[in-house]
Structure 1
Amino acid sequence: MDHIYDVIILGAGPAGLSAGLYAGRSRLDILIIEKGQAGGQIINTDEIENYPGQIVEGETGVSLVRRMYEQTEQFGAEHVRDTITNAELSGDIKVLTGEKDTYQAKNIIIATGAYARPIGCKGEQEYKGRGISYCATCDANFFTDLEVYVAGGGDAAVEEALYLTKFARKVTIIHRRDELRAAKSIQEKAFANPKITFLWDSVVKEVGGDGLLQTMTVKNVKTGELTKIEADPKDGLFGLFGFIGMIPNTSVFADKVETDDKGYIKTDEDMHTNVPGVYAVGDVRVKSLRQVVTAVADGAIAAVQVERSMSEY
């Protein structure tokens, strides 16, 4: 492809679409590349309650993203589906090689996101958004006064379990070891919380239910014993939160932009990476809170920075 865009945005989740909207309103020549369905992780959320000003009844992650996508089209963004396999970012003109085509741009906004490390149990995919979640901040409210289970034993798992106690009547941490890996200060809070119990030396092997998560089989890794857990009939379901870790979608950019030891891209507050003309936004970058509201803010900031840099050409 000979065409050189002002900016190519990699990823069509909230961060990428927000960047596309702001760049489009600045009359930049934009291409948004998404390898699959637009939306990122938010499309797995059936209800949205914590997006400011969100008052549309029955709003889902899919419907919210659909409106974002349409906004980018209204302001001239071009969309293509392709999987980028190589990125040359060092020159003034960045070159992206995909499975279908090659793309060039003066600026790149990386919005490829991150994905939760799977719990690894049978039936997990089927019950995502139907009892299985990977974000307590997003979904805790849906499990108010219900029983909730947390798979994991590190800082994130225990911190999220503590957060869930504000909503659930009981929280059980399922951990494959006989002690937690979380920081001692976090462990002390968990052990002192009367709502939290522990299922040691155990992993989730299978989940099931009639449309919603209602059963779970847990295996003791030392004895091999299988235990079936069933939801209270009065509740109709329970929650299972996976906090085994997140995996950033940064493999294509390995050794091309600076990352932390987990693979997240390092940026400054204006979303600049260490490579001129390359920005990172949303879940893919090093940050303390990964939510829709912070993703769209990142996208807006990056697009404004691109527009300012283009005024210098």
Structure 2
Amino acid sequence: MAENKQYDVVIIGAGPGGMTAAMYASRANLSVLMLDRGAYGGNLNNTAEIENYTGFKKIKGPELAQQMYDGATQFGAEYAYGTVTKVELDGNLKKITTDMDETYTAKAVVIATGSDHRRLDVPGEEDFSGRGVSYCAVCDGAFFKNKHLIVVGGGDAAVEEGVYLTQLASKVTVLVRRDELRAEPIIQAEAMNNDKMEFIYNTSVTEIIGDDIKVTGVKTHNNKTGEEGKIAADGVFIYVGNIPMTTSFTNLNILDDQGWVKTDDRMQTAIPGIFAIGDVRETPLRQVATAVGDGAIAGQQVYEYIKSMN
């Protein structure tokens, strides 16, 4: 076993929120470690261009990730690779173990592991990711002006994002697996009154199809009649839920019944010294800007918490 390395705060996840928390905490003269199972930046590295982050008219995702990392480390915050497998309590301290056979001890922990989009797991979904398949209308809708789009899902997110896309697309077809929507009535009413939206019920996507460059449509299955079909479209936006990346924290009893970390408005969990930010929380908007806001609050609260320990 490698030696136990000690920090004031360990931030689990080095996406926009985690890097912002690291910047605020290290700027307060705390020793900070960011741990991530991949490259710093998180989903920024999978985003070609970002057009909705204040201060930049347009910026490539990896470029923004690098700028955030440079800002996060300028006051001494460190970065290390590794997947956290467990967080344990040791009095007022927290013991963090990774799959790299490393152990860290910290006075505070910030959980910033984010969430993952629930996939359809159908042929073509992964092949056309970023080439017509998207999980974020706010992020990618602008690339489909005056195009026909398909939205998959029947909950609040699917219908709300479908309405949003009608501001850009010529037509939005919502494919609903059941015979009715699960979205709240007020959201449904707005969608039903939108001339650009149509709903096809009892329909599942069995394959996303396209050419060498982009999506051209989907293959469908009618869940009542068994009929197979095909719908031509320029893009497919998938909203069948999100999965919180929180399996490493189940022993802490800070998760709700869906696996999201529960916090107050100061990003504090039920355990003093353990905070959570960004997409790992049940939040109404999963964007770079909201993660950064959470990170700033958490970074400052970590400082206040550690100061109270002295």
Is the partner of 1:311 in helix, strand or coil? helix
- Structure 2 letter corresponding to 1:166: Q
- Superposed counterparts of 1:22-171, under 5 Å: 22-55=24-57, 59-89=59-89, 91-100=91-100, 101-171=102-172
- Structure 1 letter corresponding to 2:126: Q
Q: Is the 1:14–1:39 contact (alpha carbons within 8 Å) kept by the matching residues of 2? A: yes
Is the partner of 2:104 in helix, strand or coil? strand
Q: Residues 61-96 of structure 1, C-alpha deviation per residue, up to 9 Å, x if partnerless?
A: 121112112222322222111111111136311011
Shift of 1:255: 4.5
Alpha-carbon separation, structure 1, partners of 2:54 and 2:253: 32
Shift of 1:173: 0.5
Once superposed, which parts of structure 1, at least 4 consecutive aligned residues long, lie more than 4 Å away?
Answer: none
Q: Is the 2:24–2:296 contact (alpha carbons within 8 Å) kept by the matching residues of 1? A: yes
Match of 1:235 in 2: none
The equivalent position to 1:278 in structure 2, one of 260, 274, 279, is 274
Match of 2:243 in 1: 247
Q: Is the 2:157–2:239 contact (alpha carbons within 8 Å) kept by the matching residues of 1? A: yes
- Structure 2 letter corresponding to 1:181: R
Alpha-carbon separation, structure 1, partners of 2:264 and 2:179: 40
Q: How many residues align?
A: 305
Q: Is the 2:266–2:298 contact (alpha carbons within 8 Å) kept by the matching residues of 1? A: yes
The equivalent position to 1:16 in structure 2, one of 1, 14, 18, is 18
Q: Is the 2:137–2:164 contact (alpha carbons within 8 Å) kept by the matching residues of 1? A: yes
Match of 2:188 in 1: 187
Shift of 1:25: 1.6
Alpha-carbon separation, structure 1, partners of 2:16 and 2:28: 18
Q: Is the 2:109–2:274 contact (alpha carbons within 8 Å) kept by the matching residues of 1? A: yes
Is the partner of 1:63 in helix, strand or coil? helix
Question: What TM-score do the two structures reach when normalised by structure 1?
Answer: 0.92
Alpha-carbon separation, structure 1, partners of 2:228 and 2:211: 17
5+ residue gaps, structure 2, are none
Q: Is the 1:282–1:295 contact (alpha carbons within 8 Å) kept by the matching residues of 2? A: yes
Q: Is the 1:267–1:286 contact (alpha carbons within 8 Å) kept by the matching residues of 2? A: no
Match of 2:211 in 1: 209
Question: What TM-score do the two structures reach when normalised by structure 2?
Answer: 0.93
5+ residue gaps, structure 1, are 232-237
Q: Residues 139-177 of structure 1, C-alpha deviation per residue, up to 9 Å, x if partnerless?
A: 222222111111001121111111211111100001112
Provide the aligned C-alpha RMSD in A.
1.7
Identity, % of aligned positions = 47
